[in-house]
Amino acid sequence: MKTETIINNQGEILFFGLEHFLEDIANGDCCFICGAKPNSKPFNDEHVIPDWILRKFNLHTKFITLPNGTRFKYGQYKVPCCKECNSSLGKYYEEPIRDLLCKPYEEILKELDDDFIRFIFKWLCLIFIKTHLKDKSLLYERDRRIDTGYISNHYPWEDMHHIHCIARSHYTGAKMDQYSFGSIIVVPTIQHESIEDFDYMDNEPAKCVMLRLGHICIIAILDDAGAGSGFFNSTLNRIKGPLTPPQLKEIFSHFCFINLNLKVRPIFRSKITNKENYEIVSEIPDLVFLFKETEQISSPGEILRKYLEQTTGYFKDNTEVLKGVEDGRMGFLFDENGDFINYLADE
């Protein structure tokens, strides 16, 4: 469906039509927030992983390995952004989120009301869209002789368009209805010298994000209208302590599985009246249910296995554990009696 770009009375792009989004943002190098052309104003580009996180966890000179195997220094991992939008992103999102997330877990919980959790949800949409905008500058095949285009050409960008609308909602003033927010959880994590303090993962088809920052981890589904929380809530209530990386990946895998298997998907729309009042509205099915078992895409265990295989060390070559995980016979969250496995308590 072709949609038109809408510009407000101040000349700002309120809404990017899909074609415009694809041309200037997904495949172009305009500012990913305001849409300014590269030479029209000063640009200083925006870190994909926020700068305060890079500093806090000493990541500036470390490398991130992208899905195509390219290694990138975190400090140089940036997307096109004008100076003005870059500093407003800093003030709007990064400063308050940094101030909150650097506090002890108990204090975070006290301050984390519904408004703040929704604010963090929008911030995760921002990180997710930046991650995938970045892919466009990287050849899909590292061998430049193979003309397979860019990674972004392989993405269904239409789905990204909605997430982009949320990511720039601070700029457009878009109000979001209740279901435009997906599922999001914040959980405490185990910190240990053998565990890196920082981890970021996302799953593009499932639109799931996981961000682990020292003592806390945030996991979200960006476009499920909250269905994941609904399905997974009773499981979450049984979690009684800080989590290890495999336990977090187990939750992440469940989230991915749920969003990949929603039988009727929510629909999101941008509703703009008088070129100024912008609302992101959702249409949700009356009943939320998953595909029946024979039609399901993958399984939580299969997804978890894939993530464990990507880690180094214990799991990588432990075929017996990997098989057990894949079959769903083995997990890290609960023991055979269904009780939460608290690794901190076992030490």
Burial of 135 (0-12, 13-18, 19+ CB in 10 A): buried
- Residues touching Zn ion: how many (CB under 5 A)? 6
Nearer Cβ to Zn ion, position 34 or 184? 34
Decide: 218 and 120 in contact? Cβ < 8 Å.
yes
* Cα separation values, 340 from 67, 220, 289, Å: 33, 21, 26
Is 341 exposed, middle or buried (CB count within 10 Å of its CB: 0-12, 13-18, 19+)? Answer: middle
13, 34, 165, 280: which one binds Zn ion (CB under 5 A)? 34
Piece in contact with Zn ion (CB under 5 A), picked from 77-85, 157-165, 170-178, 324-332 = 77-85
The answer to whether the CB of 218 falls within 8 A of the CB of 186 is yes
Pick from 30, 31, 165, 208 the residue near Zn ion by CB under 5 A.
Answer: 31
Strands 63-65, 71-73: pairing kind? antiparallel
- Near Zn ion by CB under 5 A: residue from 33, 218, 219, 222: 33
Nearest to Zn ion of 82, 163 (CB atom): 82
Residue 198, helix vs strand vs coil: strand
Q: How far is the CB of 257 from Zn ion (least distance, A)?
A: 37
> Which one among 59, 85, 262, 304 touches Zn ion, defined by CB under 5 A?
85
Question: Shortest gap between Cβ of 191 and Zn ion (angstroms)?
Answer: 37
Contact status: 82 vs Zn ion (CB under 5 A): yes
Q: Based on the shown chain and the rule CB under 5 A, indicate whether residue 151 belongs to the binding site for Zn ion.
A: no
Cα-only R_g, the chain:
20
Q: With binding defined as CB under 5 A, does residue 133 bind Zn ion?
A: no
From the list 312, 321, 308, the residue with the least C-alpha distance to 246 is: 308
Q: Which is nearer to Zn ion, 30 or 59 (CB)?
A: 30
Interface with Zn ion (CB under 5 A): 31, 33-34, 36, 82, 85
